[in-house]
């Protein structure tokens, strides 16, 4: 694949704890991270004894903000995210507010339907619940299942966590949710200028029902690029498969169209550069891939079958050009991870935490990248800056 963009990566201030599936977005000039899960609390309990509701680690409602113009000040605590502590709320940012929708933890009902909004009012940060925007079924969106076009939030490629098989633990399922909800194939829309209308169901995506997909909006259209297929299975069969089919949705026609398949893999987090290029950050490759026609393929080369499963976390950055349907690459991350929290402002992309990091399983790492203009022609081109800590913005 041709290198389509260059990204100069560096490390920003570590998060106060390892973090997975927090609700991450740029709000009122701050990088905000709300909720999430960790097995690596670091020293957060000294700073915030209430971080895990009396436990030593796990799900949290803690919310922090970082000023990109003053990295030396570090992460500052904001009011806690409302409701039960959780990870994996779907996230959307528009009109100076962060919307966090759904999420999950290990307590019944496992997956949630509520929608919360965080705004800055003067010097205060204020959370509010939006009862009219309650989801029609429980949704685990892992942060990246939502995207914004105009005043509308679109949510697709989600999962539900529940006990599908007697005697087995609750698990994620995208093929269908509890009570048969179409959680992994449905497209929901919330118009933030008409919250009273609630979530509206639009045309289902014809692709493999999936979650942890690369969902993003560019050029007024919605893209859904690969993810995880989690079937309703019992027993010893695989519970997670790569789903590599890619789709674009046109709001004007309420129709989906097929795009080129992605490489074998999943858990790639999407952000958009120049309203054209979708950056797919990090990822994980499962052993099997489920195709649209139901065929199941091995995603491993023969030599890879002997590797430990932890070898398949990725530091890659794929780039999808929405205008040409070309798939290329950009400079790799400094540390591998899977489905990190991420957002972008102008040419600066922020990549926080995730799973499977080299230093901490749930990384506290913040990776900051400056995206350069596309390489003019041919493979390669340009260099990258070495990793470095800095108190100055990128």
Q: What is the pLDDT of residue 172?
A: 95
Which residues neighbour 278 within 8 Å (Cβ) at sequence distance 6 or greater?
Answer: 214, 216, 218, 223, 225, 270, 271, 272, 319, 320, 322
**End-to-end Cα distance, the chain:** 27
Tokens of 142: 């892992």
Block residue for tokens 């919330």:
190
Q: What fold, for 6-372? A: Neuraminidase (2.120.10)
Q: Tokens for 171? A: 């698990």
Q: Give the alpha-carbon dihedral of 213, 186, 135, 138, to 10 degrees.
A: -70
Q: Sign of the C-alpha dihedral, residues 197, 201, 203, 207?
A: positive
75 vs 69: CA distance, rounded Å: 12
CA distance 58 to 62: 12
Per-residue pLDDT of the chain (394 residues; tens, 9 = 90+): 999 999 999 999 999 999 999 999 999 999 999 999 999 999 999 999 999 999 999 999 999 999 999 999 999 999 999 999 999 999 999 999 999 999 999 999 999 999 999 999 999 999 999 999 999 999 999 889 999 999 999 999 999 999 988 888 899 999 999 999 999 999 999 999 999 999 999 999 999 999 999 999 999 999 999 999 999 988 777 889 999 999 999 999 999 999 999 999 999 999 999 999 999 999 999 999 999 999 999 999 999 999 999 999 999 999 999 999 999 999 999 999 999 999 999 999 999 999 999 999 999 999 999 999 865 644 443 433 333 333 333 3
Domain boundaries, the chain: 6-372
Interatomic CA distance for residues 205 and 187, integer angstroms: 7
């Amino acid at each position: 694949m041709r290198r389509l963009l260059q990204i100069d990566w560096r490390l920003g201030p570590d998060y106060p704890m390892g973090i997975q599936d927090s609700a991450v977005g740029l709000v009122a000039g701050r990088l905000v991270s709300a909720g999430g899960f960790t097995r690596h609390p670091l020293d957060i309990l000294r700073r915030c004894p209430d971080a895990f509701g009396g436990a030593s680690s796990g799900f949290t409602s803690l919310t922090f903000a970082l000023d990109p113009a003053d990295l030396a000040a570090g992460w500052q605590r904001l009011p806690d995210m409302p409701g039960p502590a959780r990870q994996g709320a779907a996230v959307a940012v528009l009109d100076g507010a962060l919307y966090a929708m759904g999420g999950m933890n290990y307590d019944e009902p496992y997956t949630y339907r509520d929608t919360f909004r965080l705004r800055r009012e003067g010097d205060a940060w204020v959370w509010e619940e939006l009862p009219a925007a309650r989801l029609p079924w429980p949704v685990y969106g892992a942060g990246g299942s939502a995207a914004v076009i105009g005043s509308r939030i679109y949510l697709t490629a989600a999962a539900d966590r529940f006990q599908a098989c007697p005697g087995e633990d609750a698990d994620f399922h995208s093929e269908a949710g509890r009570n048969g909800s179409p959680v992994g194939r449905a497209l929901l829309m919330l118009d933030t200028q008409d919250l009273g209308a609630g979530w509206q169901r639009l045309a289902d995506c014809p692709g493999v029902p999936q979650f942890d997909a690369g969902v993003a909006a560019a050029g007024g259209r919605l893209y859904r690029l690969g993810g995880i297929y989690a079937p309703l299975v019992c027993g010893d069969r695989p519970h997670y498969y790569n789903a590599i089919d890619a789709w674009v949705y046109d709001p004007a026609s309420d129709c989906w169209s097929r795009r080129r398949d992605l490489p074998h893999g999943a858990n790639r987090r999407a952000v958009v550069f120049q309203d054209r290029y979708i950056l797919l950050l990090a990822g994980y490759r499962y052993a099997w891939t489920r195709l649209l026609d139901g065929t199941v393929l091995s995603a491993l080369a023969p030599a890879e079958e002997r590797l430990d499963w932890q070898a398949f976390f990725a530091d890659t950055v794929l780039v999808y050009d929405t205008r040409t349907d070309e798939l290329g690459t950009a400079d790799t991350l400094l540390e591998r991870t899977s489905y990190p929290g991420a957002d972008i402002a102008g040419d600066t992309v922020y990549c926080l935490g995730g799973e499977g990091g080299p230093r901490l399983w749930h990384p506290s790492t913040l990776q900051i990248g400056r995206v350069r203009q596309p390489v003019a022609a041919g493979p390669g081109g340009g260099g990258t800056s070495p990793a470095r800590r800095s108190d100055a913005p990128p």
